[in-house]
A and B are shown apart, each in its own frame.
Chain A
Amino acid sequence: MAAYILRRLVTAALILLGVSFITFVLLYVLPADPVRQIAGRSATPETVESIRRQLGLDQPLVVQYGNYLWNLLQGDLGRSYLQKTEVATLITARLPATLLLMVAAIFCELVIGLTLGVIAALYRGRALDNVLMLSSFVTVSAPQFVVALLLLYVFSVQLGWFPIGGYGTFSHLVLPAVTLGILGSGWYARIMRSSMLDVLRADFIRTARAKGLGRGRIILGHAIPNAILPVIAMIGIDIGMFMSGIVVVESVFGWPGIGQLAWQAIQRVDIPIIMGVTLISALAIVIGNLIADLISPLIDPRIKLH
């Protein structure tokens, strides 16, 4: 077990190294000059070059990347070009909001997705099944901006049940989490449905039925716990999708997370922030997958980690 975790951590470090390199190269080849963004429109060419030298952006890419890695190893993510503040400070100020939203959103996804998946499996082939599967398609492909604004308009503006965006209390959290929950639940519903169908065909279910167990006990006690396994593995992958989808929902609801931070930094070519957020997101995905893998044997003892 310890060896497994160690090996996974080494892999994780390599993945992060790869992500940092690719991001760095992509930002470097971008036809936009971060120094111009810092120097502003009134700067003389001399000012622009002086800033370029001070930031070390006149050096070859390899040297720049080497410097970045060296600082990173010492836990230094650098300073924002435009805000002049430590990137670590900017990220830690916003990370709790993103993590909170992530936990709440995954909870909503699971509640909505699993419920729909189980119901669809139990009504397999019937009208209700078709309706649920169609709607799972629709939610997965619905534009986030529209769904978010729609919920905001109906529940905050018209009904006044929740605040119109913002951060701080539980009621601020509900709408963004439900938005992401609805949008992401389709995946879970489909996986849960097919997994349930497999399990319901299994021998042990027939045995349980033969023993004379009630339908409710079979489903809750035997079918669902066995069918849920692939869904757990899905959460790890979902964190990745979550990180890419959070930008829009955070903007609409004024949720002060790292998605907003990244979006603003990309527009201004603020490379240290873009690098920092990318690395933190990659880290979250790697950790998410690792945890999902570690949890699996706890749920199904047949799975062994090697």
Chain B
Amino acid sequence: MKKLILSTALSAMMALSPALAETPVHGGNMIVTYKDDVATLDPAIGYDWQNWSMIKSVFDGLMDYEPGTTTLRPGLAESYEISEDGLSYTFKLRPGVKFHNGREMTAEDVVWSINRVVNPATQSPGQGFFAMIEGFDASSVDGSPLTGVSAPDAGTVVFKLSRPDATFLHVMALNFSYVVPKEAVEAAGADFGKQPVGTGAFKLAEWTLGQRLVFEKNADYWIPGVPYLDSFTVEVGQEPVVALLRAQNGEVDVPGDGIPPAKFTEVMGDPAQAANVVEGGQLHTGYITMNVTAAPFDKVEVRRAVNMAINKDRIIQVINGRAVPANQPLPPSMPGYTKDYAGYPYDVEGAKALLAEAGLADGFETEIYVMNTDPNPRIAQAIQQDLKAIGITANIRSLAQANVIEAGGAGQAPMIWSGGMAWIADFPDPSNFYGPILGCGGAVEGGWNWSKYCNAELDALAAKADSTVDPAKAEERLKLWSDTYMGVMEDAPWAPVFNEQRYTMKSPRMGGADALYVDPVSIPVNYDYVYIKE
């Protein structure tokens, strides 16, 4: 295979970035609010949607994304090479990158950080993402160093993989692979998540538990001129309705939890406020799972009938139009999405005919599990009505999130509405929507494949797609993924319902491209690249 060297010139990189089209202003403090506490800023541990982008601002990985896009670019690595067989990745590190404690980051730090995530003692929820690295099976159990990652010199990191994996570069951009300084982790112990030290654009200046976190600009950041803000303050414990009131009063720049459903119509109906709202897609699909291992959903006709019975447009009305109808597992902004697929039509008579075909002309009684926070029970009621129309009586079981997840993992739930627990991609690649939620690997006790759907042929197709590493064959790989998801729709273990749109409210003084406020990777905003006008 050819040798790949990506552009090392930062200036070229920046010129390409759409987020930087206008001239940014330096300085100021931005205020962001959240309802829930920030649990941790340890990149090996943090897996909540609100700490995800804060961790991105404090730490860096070998790879990164163009701000506001899903396009990979080098991060702490200046360039990389992939071997002919796709099993060896060699990263050249950017020289002179310093941790917030002043020490220069080296290849040893990268090796140590990857080993730390894989070590079972770290209890990282991201451990499984590194399974393609050679030696993972041993290291993930006994905590010994991975044989597949090494640092031949201070500026070079070499990964050896046990199988070719096209998602590897995305994994190197994932928070879990971010580089941490050994001495700071060892000094802080389990409290590293509250005293983070990274190489990122911001460093943590203050953390008052239960109240606020203040992030201060890292003046020595390795991308010159970034970030633009002097600091940003995250205020926690703020009820979304109250955060919105404060934003309307000019006290908050970005209410991080978004616009509460009950206030959405009011805000969007007021032109002055609607002007401050940025709309964008996100890598999210809301779906109904059907347990294919138990009657009556073991019959494909029944599952297809459900797909045809759901009036998606009406469900979208329930959430004030904050979504677009979905007809397949992948969201439209994900590479590999099948644009020319029409999906199952909304066809009540057709659905009834399919039920009759399955020998269930009189319908049946079942249960649909749903998370108990608004708007999910209301959506479940809409689904209930749609099913009623074709003769299916679905009793709603509205439970706390953890209990629904438990029932789904245990295979006890005939149907689940995914709202509030739906899959949002970890990284912008079609493979991330398959393995854990539709593949055989996830169809185990406690797995996230709540349909318990396992199709060996599709698993093989998925494996083939992910071993297609050659960038020249990227289109071919996406076609394989498209075929996989079309195969899934044929078997219909899910009824995809909608793709939620994101609506971020920002104060009028906030500047930067709209894409930064609906960044598919840094949610809700890309802290490093937004700025305050004036």
Contacts and interface: CB of A to CB of B under 8 A. Distances in A.
Interface in A102-134: none
B128 A44 contact: yes
A291 B423 CA distance: 52
A269 interface: yes
A121 to B, nearest CB: 39
Interface stretch (B226-234, B405-413, B482-490): B405-413
A261 B210 contact: yes
A47 B128 contact: yes
B37 A264 contact: yes
Interface string B247-264: 011010000000000000
A74 interface: no
Nearest to B36: A264
Contact of A90 (B140, B208, B209): B209
A43 B242 CA distance: 35
Contact of A33 (B37, B242, B246, B402): B402
Given A38-B123, A83-B193, A85-B191, A33 B239 contact: no
A267 B402 CA distance: 7
Nearest to B37: A264
Interface residues of B, number: 55
B155 interface: no
Interface stretch (B73-81, B269-277, B286-294, B444-452): B444-452
A36 B353 CA distance: 40
B141 interface: yes
A31 B126 CA distance: 24
Contacts of A167: 211
A157 B249 contact: yes
Contacts of B441: 44
A37 B402 CA distance: 8
Contacts of A164: 242, 245-246, 249, 251
A38 to B, nearest CB: 6
B225 to A, nearest CB: 34
Contacts of A84: 40, 42, 45, 190-191, 193
Interface string B306-350: 000000000000000000000000000000000000000000000
Contacts of B409: 33, 36
B193 A260 contact: no
Interface stretch (A191-199, A247-255, A274-282, A294-302): A247-255
A54 interface: yes
A42 B126 contact: yes
B135 to A, nearest CB: 15
Contact of B446 (A31, A45, A268): A45
Given A83-B39, A85-B190, A45 B445 contact: yes
A269 B402 contact: yes
Interface string A135-168: 0000000000000010011001100000011110
B122 to A, nearest CB: 10
A71 interface: no
Contacts of B14: none
A48 B242 contact: no
A123 B144 CA distance: 81
Contacts of B120: 47, 50-51, 54
A32 B421 CA distance: 14
Interface in B375-397: none
A148 B249 CA distance: 18
Contact of B245 (A31, A89, A153): A153
A107 B441 CA distance: 59
A192 to B, nearest CB: 33
A254 B445 contact: no
Contacts of A37: 402
A50 B208 CA distance: 32
Contact of A268 (B141, B235, B402, B403): B402
**Chain A to chain B: the 6 pairs with minimum beta-carbon distance, closest first:** A40-B125, A32-B402, A256-B210, A93-B209, A50-B120, A84-B190
16 contacts: A32-B406, A36-B405, A36-B406, A38-B123, A38-B125, A40-B47, A42-B448, A45-B447, A46-B140, A83-B39, A85-B194, A94-B210, A164-B249, A251-B237, A255-B237, A256-B237
Given A80-B39, A84-B190, A260-B237, 14 more contacts: A32-B400, A33-B446, A36-B406, A40-B47, A43-B125, A51-B123, A83-B194, A89-B209, A93-B209, A152-B245, A165-B246, A254-B235, A256-B209, A257-B210
Interface of B: 35-37, 39-40, 42, 45, 47, 120-121, 123, 125-129, 131, 140-141, 190-191, 193-194, 208-211, 235, 237-239, 241-242, 245-246, 248-249, 251, 400-403, 405-407, 409, 423, 426, 436, 441, 444-448
